[in-house]
Amino acid sequence: MSSKRTPEDYVFHEKLGQGSYSTVFRAVERNNSARNYAVKVCSKKHIIQERKVKYVTIEKDLLNSLGRGGHPGIVQLFCTFHDAESLYFVLEYVSGGELLNLLRRTGPLPETWSRHLFAQLVDTVDYMHSNGVIHRDLKPENVLLSQEGRIVITDFGAACSIANTVQDRSASFVGTAEYVAPELLLYSQCGLGSDIWALGCILYQLTQGAPPFRGDNELRTFEQIVALDYKWRLPTIPQVVTLVQSILVLDPLLRPTSKQLKEDPWLASVKWNIKSTLWKGIWE
């Protein structure tokens, strides 16, 4: 795409999702309706009112560096533009909806499904972390599913690059209560380990149907998190229990890294390279 786009270049269809200062619509190009896009529309007024200008700028920069087809697990960004009221992100359309909705429909997933989805999440987070990016809001709502069962991580609106964490964006809670890491609640710290914590919560949720920490209100949820107060609801294979237990520890430095997760015995049967070759076939 060479010349700058405008909203008139697209026909907007149904709403796909809603954030605090943005709405995502399915859209097609006016001149070529064969391909769907997900266009995220951010209200300039809200962004300014809620002091999020820096966040959308970071989201754009990170997606430009990570989401240009560098990894199939990161939502692709095709272009951005703006008009008087809004900023627009033209993103890859992922047709299977949110992982959250799959979990709501099916409840706990069988082990093979959990492993398939978790392995892709680990592989994608490993790519992000290798590129110095912390997502900071990993949760089943931000994980989309393609028709062929591929996961795509979206919503980098809370993300930051490692270089900026300590000085810049560590002090405030930006995630979602159920998946927020204890170090953010206790010490206002947020690093790579905070994404790993969220992966542990997601793995628990894949196998149990609900996140490990969920109180009647946010405060109760936070209390459960810092007390590591969670219980297994369903019979679960010991390897998964051990893996989740190794992740859900208070000290982020004691959690496995994304590279160590790829070596976990429960994921021993995953063909990491074959899978990425398969993705290459689909994407290149």
Contacting residue, 93, 127, 179, 230, with ligand ADE by CB under 6 A = 93
**From residue 127 to residue 166, what is the string marking binding to ligand ADE with x (rule CB under 6 A)?**
-----------------x---------x------------
Decide: is 94 part of the binding site for ligand ADE (CB under 6 A): yes
CB of 114 to ligand ADE, least distance (A): 22
Task: Please tell me whether residue 232 adopts helix, strand or coil conformation.
Answer: coil
Q: Give the span between the Cα atoms of 203 and 186, in whole angstroms.
A: 23
* Closest among 81, 93, 80 to 24, alpha carbons compared: 93
Count of residues engaged in binding ligand ADE, rule: CB under 6 A = 11
Full 3-state SS string of 121-185: HHHHHHHHHHCCEECCCCCHHHEEECCCCCEEECCCCCCEEHHHHHHHHCCCCCCCHHHCCHHHH
> Considering only 91-99, 181-189, 195-203, 262-270, which stretch makes contact with ligand ADE by CB under 6 A?
91-99
Q: Which active-site residues does the annotation give? A: 137
- From 62-70, 89-97, 185-193, 210-218, give the range in contact with ligand ADE by CB under 6 A: 89-97
Cα torsion angle, 245, 248, 254, 258, sign: positive
Q: Quick one: tokens of 11?
A: 């026909």
Name the residue nearer to ligand ADE (CB basis): 17 or 215: 17
Q: How far is the CB of 277 from ligand ADE (least distance, A)?
A: 24
Residues making contact with ligand ADE (CB under 6 A): 16-17, 24, 38, 75, 91-94, 144, 154
